[in-house]
Each structure stands twice: as structure tokens, then as C-alpha cells.
Amino acid sequence: MFISLAIALPFIIAALIPLIYKHIRQWHLGWFVLAVPVALFMFFIRFIQPVATGKVFTSTYAWIPSFNINFVTYLDGLSLIFVLLITGVGSLVTLYSIFYLSEKESLHHFYCYLLLFMGAMLGVVLSDNLMVLYAFWELTSVSSFLLIAFWHHRKASRAGARKAMVITVLGGISMLAGFLMLAQMADSFSVREIAAMTLTNEALFIPAMLCILLGAFTKSAQFPFHIWLPDAMEAPTPVSAYLHSATMVKAGIYLVARLSPVFGGSAVWFWVITVIGLITLFWGSFNAVRQTDLKALLAYSTVSQLGLIMSLFGVGSMAYYFGYADEHLIYTQATFAALFHLINHSTFKGALFMMVGIVDHEVGTRDIRRLGGLMAMMPVTFTIAMAGSLSMAGLPPFNGFLSKEMFFSAMLTIKNVDVFALSSIGILLPVIAWVASVFTFIYSVILVTKTFFGKFKPERLDKRPHEAPFGMLISPLILSLSMLLIFFFPNVLAQYILSPAMRSMYHEAPIEKIVPHITPWHFNTELMMTVGVILIGLLLYKYLPKWRRVYQIFTRERSFNALYDASIQKAEQWSDHVTMRYMTGNLTHYFMYIYVCFVTLVSGYFIIAGTFSYDATINAPIANYEWIMVFVIIFAAFYILFAKQRMTAVLLNSVIGYVIAFLFVVFRAPDLALTQLVVESITTVLFLVCFRYLPDLQAGKKRSKRARKWHGLIAIATGATVTMIGLAVLNYDKFAPISSYFDDALNLAGGANIVNTILGDFRAFDTMLEVVVLFIAGLGVYTLTKLKPKKGAAKDENQ
């Protein structure tokens, strides 16, 4: 129950912000919002001890029980890691935002979006129901779109938000298809129940797996879907530090980890995740070296680190293939390394993003070609940069060194396994891992040396450099300190945080054999690989200007960004072409489309199903006065076609409506007659009010004879179809009638009039939605007509 409220809290406060922000000074709004992630972090810390002993916490709220969709929360070791990152890093980012963002910014929007994203991420990692998880998943895409486009007056911000939205939402739709297939196979939406089943032999197993992986890869910026992440760096730095280092990009990682017990024993799962992860690792690190913008460098480094984590989960899946035999439990250490690096990456990357934000905030640029020599003027920021860069490069005494060594161990362990064709090509795995680590070392060196060492260039800077306010330094300093603490006390983290997560992924394995004892200081093959990374990395860095020309091969025109831009452009051109073919602005064309579609579908159904039947012998006799009224309607409708005056057409149309009302009276339906009279009267009045604005009555008669023939044919076909429906319902027996249910309206709904009861009670929900639609339309009209842009809101589109 309390876990559900914890998920709801960010949404509740986000809903309150628009109501209270005017009563709180803008600068103090951040302190008000800061209480939310801090309170949530303190709340979830309470679960560390019981979860470490093997307990899990669940709560269930019946949402749509008829479809087996309930809001079920599930807190175990794996989800605990993520909720602590979401709330812990969220607290530090919110504190950082208070000092980073100007009071002139639209802070109430920023914090509202931030809380929406925080709540959505908590929902993703705590939901046990696949459909609920998907709902929160897409909400993270929407809220991240709002955060990335926060500076919406900038063209680049809007473009980056759109790209992130398109790629992640398309992946989410694929994931939804995979979830539905998975639920179809397991006959359950519960992740826990599905994980306990064996579905390997199901026909939908591989398609469901691939669809789900597509969603995970797009969200976690895996190759080739990584292109949205660098463009998302147009967001404010607190957004980058939160979404793109600790939370949103980890959602795909969480999904892979959570579903590993379901798909882990498959060769497809192993190869797809491991290969895509290693390609992403290499491609991200390779491209990070060429960047001249500090945030772009960190963006590609994030892509690279996410690939590293993903590949480790792929290697760790080998334990599911072999089972839980003691000699094969060594592969679970790859999963342990993935979870360990997941935490480490959040610490050093969060600190580095905040450091870059400080440089940009206090110096006025992130371009490394304009930076240099800032160490003396910004010593604390330099210290943060050194700690984060050394940890990212995998050097002691920082936590990144430990998980990077485990990464090397996993790749060395898997290379000689005689399964899935690894015995022949397995050597490539540690080679790619080592080469990517060399590039990681190079861009880490670039980040520090190009910014803080070298010649100071004051003439190229927009501001006079100085150290940031202490409030802006608190968050990155806390993250930097955590890098040291984790390095010197890694087994505390392993015992209370990592071990429960491993237990949640490998239920049947003995915990003492799947959680290794971490030794900060060691001498082994992995350490020699690290020494090689340093030596080769320093050599390549020294001669960087000579071999950097290799990047000229990978120009913008040959990149995946160019392919994406061309695809979007072609799609827009095609959609414009198709749209302009039917959106002609001609009302006659629109009616033609509607009627042709109606005739085709309805008549086609009767023809294919063979359900049309009509027996004239069961009809009641038609009185003479009924024939007279029918002929009056026919005459009025026919004469409208030849009317020369608009007033004549309006009056003839009214004749049709009023005679139909008289027919309702004859057939003893006074309520319908009254409704028809009211509608017809209002319609006639509206015609007369708009009389002067109506088009020329003769305009339609100026069309070609061929067009008029087609229009006549469509009109006759439509009338014949409606007549056919009316005749067919008399003897239609394809489905059982529901009229008998409504006959008991008095007892069911307390109304003697069946028609009114249907409208007011049986269709109450539908009626309510119709009213809501009208209300939303009214709001839209009011907004367009009354609200005016603020002065100075128009900004340069090219900023």
C-alpha cells in the first residue's frame, strides 16, 4: 500500500505545482520539490535490510480485473537498486537545479516535468503487471520529451526532443506487441508468474523476445538507435544528469535484467544482447573521441557505457542455459558486474554531467577548442572532473575500476565456451572490449586535459571563469565521494544491494556462489589489460592529431543521423502527398469518401457473409395516410435537387424533417417525435442564421456531367445500402438480439422509458465521454481565441 503511494506522490505534487507556484517565490519552489525525492529516498532506504534477508514486498490494487490488469507493485532486490538510483540521484539533481537554473526560467514547468518523470520511472521498476509497466514506460517518453524540449525556443531542443520521442515511442509500441505475445503464451500479465514458467518451446517465444528487445534497445540508446541520446543533450544539464546517466536510459537495462529469467536460456537472447552491447560499447567510445562539445562527449560515453552493461547481461544469461550447476555459476558474475557498473556509472556520469554544467554556467561555453587552463580558477570543479574521469576510464582508486575489471573477467571467461559457436569466434569478445576501453581512456583524458590543463584562453570565453557557488558543488561532490567509498568498501554494497538483486534474478542458485568477494587491490590478467589500456591510450592520445583523420571517413552524410533525417523527410513528403490527395478542402469530396467507404464495408459484409434476407409477407399493412407522408418526403427530397433558390432548399429540407416527426407520432413514439421537432427547428434556424454565408446553390450544378453521374450513383448506392440495412434487421439472426435485456429497464435502471434509460443509464459512460469531448473542444476554442503570447516570447528560431 505504501509503495503504491510512493509512486503516486510525485504525480500528486506535480499536479499541485501549477496551483501553488504563484504563492511560493520561484527560487523557493525548488526547495519545496526537493522534499519529494528526499522523502522517497529515505522511505526506500528502510527496505534495504529486509530485502537483503530475502524478503519481497507486494501490494495489489484492482484496476481492470475483468482483463486481469491490476496495479501490482513488487519490490525486490533488483527493483530496489533502481528506486534508490531514481530517488537518490533525483534528490541530488533537484538540489543542483536550484542553483543551476535562473529564477527567470519557467521553474514550475521544469519541476512539474521532473516529478512526472520520477513517478513514471518508479512505476516502471515497481510494476509487476506488463500492461501497467508499459503505461509507465510510455509516460517516461512523454515526460522526457517535455524535459528535453524545456528550452523550446531553441530549434535544436525541439528537434532533439522530437527525435527522442519518435525513436523511444516506436520502440515502446514494439515492446507492447512483445508483451501481448508474452501474455498470450503465459496466460498472465504478471512478470513474476511469467518468470516462473518455461516458454522456450512456444511459437511466439522468439518474436516476443525480439519485439521486447527492440523496445529495450531504443530506450537504452543501443546501436543503431543511439542517435537520439546526443541530440537530447540540448536539454538543461540537470536533465542530462538525471535522465541520461542514472534513470531513463537505464529503463531498457532494467527490462533486460527483469526478463532474463524468461528468455535467458536462448541463444538468440545471448547473441543479440551481447553483440549489440559490444557494438554499442565500441561505437560510442570511438565517436566520443571526435567530439568537441563536452556534453556531446559525455553523451557518446553514456552510449558506450550502456553498451558495456548490456553486453554483460548477455554474457550472464549463459547461466540460464547451463542451469545452476556449480561449474557454470561463474557466468552469473557477469550479471553481478553489470549491476555493479550500473551503480558506478550513475555516480561518475552524474558527477561529470554536473561538472560540465558548472563549466558551461560559469565560463559560458562547452567547446573544448575554447577551453583550457581552468584548473587554477576552478579547483573544486577540477577535482570533480578528475574523480569522474578516472572512474569512467576504469582506474583506481575509484569504483569504475572494480566493475571494469569484472567486465574484462566476464569477457575472458566467455571466450572459450563451447556453445553457441563461441569456441570459434569467442576471442573477439575480449578484443572488442579491450579496444573500446582504450578509446574510453582517451576521451576521459581529453575531457580533463582540454578543459583544465593547457593554455588559458580568456579571449575566447564569454565569461570570466570562477568557481561555482557551493550549492552547485554539493551534489557532484557527494557523487565523487561515493566513488571513493565504493572502491574502498565494495563488499558492503555487494552484501546489502547487489546480493538481493542477484537473488531476484537467479532464484535457485546459492547466493554465496553467485556473489563474488570484491578485492580492490589485485594482480591478474585483467590488471595487465588495464595497464595495456593506459599505455596504448596515452600513446594514441599523444598522436591524436595524426590518426584523427580516420574520422573523416565517417562524415555526417554517412551517419545514422543522416539516415534518420532522410527517412523522416521522405515520410513527411509522402504523407504530405497522400494527405493533399484527399484533404482537398472540398466538402463534396469528403462526403464521397465517407459514403463510398460505408457502402463498400456494409454491402461487402452482407455479400460475403450471405446474411441478407427479407420476407415481405411479415410486414404490417401500410395505411393510405402513411403512403401520402412517404410520398411527401420523397417529393421534397427529389425537388431539392432542382431548387434554384437557397431559401427553397432550406424549406424543403425542413419539410422532410417535420414529416418524419409526424411519422414518429403515427408510430406512437412521441419522445422521438419531440426530439425530431426540436432538432429540425434548430437546424432550420441555423440555416437561416448562416444564410448569407452559404455557398452558391448552383455551384454544384456547374460540375461536369461525368462528376454529377458519379455523385448520383454514390447517392443511390448509399440510399440502397441504408434501405438494405433497414430490411435486413427484420430477419437478422446472425447474433442474438439484446433488446430483451433492455426490456427490464425499470428494474435495472429505474426508468420506465427504455430510450431515455438507454441514453441516461446504460450509455452513461459513453454520454459522459461525449460531454468530455465537447468540453475539450471548447477549451481549445477558448485558448485559440482568448490567450495571447507574452511579450518577448518570440525568439530566434535558430538559437
pLDDT of res. 786: 74
Is the pLDDT assigned to residue 796 strictly greater than 70?
A: no
The residues with which 367 forms a beta bridge, in sequence order, are 293
Residue corresponding to grid cell 519545496: 32
> Which of 139-153, 287-301, 680-694, 780-794 has the least mean pLDDT?
780-794
Q: What is the pLDDT of residues 461-496, one digit of tens each?
A: 878 888 999 999 999 999 999 999 999 999 999 999
Cis ω before 500 (30° cut-off from 0): no
Tell me the pLDDT band of 799, cut-offs 50, 70 and 90: very low
The count of domains in the chain is: 2
Cα 170 to its chain centre, rounded Å, is 8
Alpha-carbon span 640 to 700, nearest angstrom: 12
pLDDT(795) > 80:
no
According to the per-residue pLDDT averaged within each range, which of 368-377, 504-513, 668-677 is highest?
Answer: 368-377
Q: At what angle do helices 587-609 and 705-728 cross, to 10 degrees?
A: 40
Residue spans of alpha helices (H) in 289-395: 294-316, 318-322, 332-363, 379-393
Mind listing the pLDDT tens digit for each residue in 599-621? 999 988 888 877 777 777 777 78
Which residues are within 8 A (CB) of 113 and not within 5 positions of it... i.e. 6 or more apart? 14, 143, 146, 147, 150
Domain-ending residue, one of 510, 540, 570: 540
Residue showing cell 520539490: 33
Residue 495 domain boundaries: 291-540
Q: Is the pLDDT of residue 794 over 50?
A: no
Considering the domain architecture, whether residues 300 and 449 belong to the same structural domain is answered as yes
Looking at residue 703, what is its pLDDT?
A: 67
Whether pTM exceeds 0.85: no
Amino acid at 739: S
Query: Could you tell me the end-to-end alpha-carbon distance of the chain, in angstroms, rounded to an integer?
Result: 47
* One domain for residues 526 and 609: no
C-alpha dihedral sign at 629, 632, 638, 640? negative
pLDDT at 366 exceeding the cut of 80 = yes
Residue 75 pairs in a beta bridge with 57
CATH of the domain at 638: 1.20.120
The count of other CB atoms within 10 Å of the CB of residue 644 is: 9
Is residue 474 in a domain?
A: yes
Count CB atoms within 10 A of the CB of residue 402: 25
Name the residue type at position 446: I
Q: Is 45 exposed, middle or buried (0-12, 13-18, 19+ CB in 10 A)?
A: middle
Euclidean distance between CA atoms 57 and 48, whole angstroms: 12
**All cell numbers assigned to 436:** 573500446
Is residue 720 a contact partner of residue 595, using CB atoms and an 8 Å limit?
no
Kindly state whether residue 195 falls inside one of the protein's structural domains.
no
What is the rounded CA–CA span in Å between residue 78 and residue 498? Answer: 8
Say whether both 592 and 529 belong to one domain: no
Question: How far apart, in whole angstroms, are the C-alpha atoms of residue 198 and residue 164?
Answer: 35
Contact between 74 and 51 under an 8 Å Cβ cutoff? The reply is: no
All three cell numbers of 720: 440502397
Q: Is the pLDDT of residue 598 over 90?
A: yes
Asked if 625 and 502 sit in the same domain, the reply is no
**106-120 pLDDT per residue, tens:** 899 999 999 999 999
Least confident of 141-155, 353-367, 776-790: 776-790
How much is the pLDDT for 221? Answer: 92
User: 540, 575, 592: which is the final residue of a domain?
Assistant: 540
Q: Is residue 614 part of a domain?
A: yes
What one-character-per-residue DSSP string does 76-94 give?
Answer: -HHHHHHHHHHHHHHHHHH
Q: Which residues of 229-268 are buried (b: 16+ CB within 10 A; e: fewer)?
A: bbbbbbbbbbbbbbbbbbbbbbbbbbbbbbbbbbbbbbee
Residues 598, 510 share a domain = no
Same domain, 395 and 534: yes
- Range 420-428, long-range pairs (CB < 8 A, 24+ positions): 420/267, 420/270, 420/271
Q: What confidence tier does 797 reach under pLDDT thresholds 50, 70, 90?
A: very low
| Claim to verify: residue 613 and residue 503 sit in the same structural domain | no
CB-side exposure of 56: number of CA atoms within 13 Å? 18
Q: pLDDT grade, residue 524 (50/70/90)?
A: confident
69-75 and 57-64: which strand pairing?
antiparallel
Q: Are 379 and 346 in contact (CB under 8 A)?
A: no
For Cα atoms 238, 251, 224, give the angle at the middle one, nearest 5 degrees: 95
Contact 483, 348 (CB under 8 A): yes
Rounded Cα distance, 307 and 65, in Å = 39
Buried b (16+ CB within 10 A) or exposed e, 129-167: bbbbbbbbbbbbbbbbbbbbbbbeebeebbebbbbbbbb
Domain membership of residue 224 (yes or no) is: no
* Cα(515)–Cα(337) distance, integer angstroms: 10
Are the C-beta atoms of residues 153 and 120 closer than 8 Å to each other?
no
How many CB atoms within 10 Å of residue 343? 20
pLDDT of res. 485: 96
| Phi, then psi, of 745 in degrees rounded to 5 | -60, -35
Sign of the CA dihedral running 246, 252, 258, 263: negative
Do 536 and 588 sit in the same domain of this protein?
no
Using 50, 70 and 90 to split pLDDT, how confident is the model at 798?
A: very low
Residues contacting residue 636 through CB under 8 Å, at least 6 positions apart? 652, 653, 655, 656, 659
At 415 the pLDDT is 79
Please state, in angstroms and rounded to a whole number, the distance separating the CA atoms of residues 277 and 213: 12
Percent with pLDDT over 90 in the chain: 54
* Domain boundary residue, one of 522, 540, 558: 540
Q: What is the pLDDT of residues 733-775, one digit of tens each?
A: 667 777 777 777 788 878 777 777 887 777 777 778 888 888 8
Q: Are residues 532 and 600 in the same domain?
A: no
Residue 701 belongs to a domain: yes
Number of other residues whose CB lies within 10 A of the CB of residue 218: 25
The pLDDT, as a whole number, for residue 488 is 94
Is residue 701's pLDDT more than 70?
Answer: no
Q: Indicate if 529 and 592 belong to the same structural domain.
A: no
- Comparing 105-119, 171-185, 351-365, 774-788, the range with the smallest average pLDDT is 774-788
Q: What are the backbone dihedrals phi and psi of residue 238, each rounded to the nearest 5 degrees, phi first?
A: -60, -35
pLDDT of residue 702: 63
- The predicted pLDDT at position 793 comes to 47
Cell of 489: 568498501
Task: With CA atoms as reference, report the closest residue to 446 among 595, 561, 297.
Answer: 297
Is 550 contained in some domain? no
* Same-domain status, 590 and 536: no
Query: Which residues in 728-759 are b (16+ Cβ under 10 Å) and which e?
Result: beeeeeeeeeeeeeeeebeeebebeebeebbe
State yes or no: pLDDT of 318 exceeds 90.
no
pLDDT tens per residue, range 187-217: 999 999 998 888 888 999 999 999 999 999 9
Let me know whether 301 and 353 are in one domain. Answer: yes
- Report how many helices (DSSP H) and strands (DSSP E) the chain contains, helices first: 36, 2
Selection from 333, 527, 532 nearest residue 413 by Cα = 333
Does a structural domain hold residue 440?
A: yes
Residues 379-402: tens digit of each pLDDT: 999 999 999 999 999 999 999 999
Q: Tell me the DSSP string of 632-652.
A: HHHHHHHHHTT--SHHHHHHH
Is the preceding omega at residue 621 within 30 degrees of 0, hence cis? no
**Is residue 519, in this structure, part of any structural domain at all?**
yes
The mean of the pLDDT values for the chain is 88
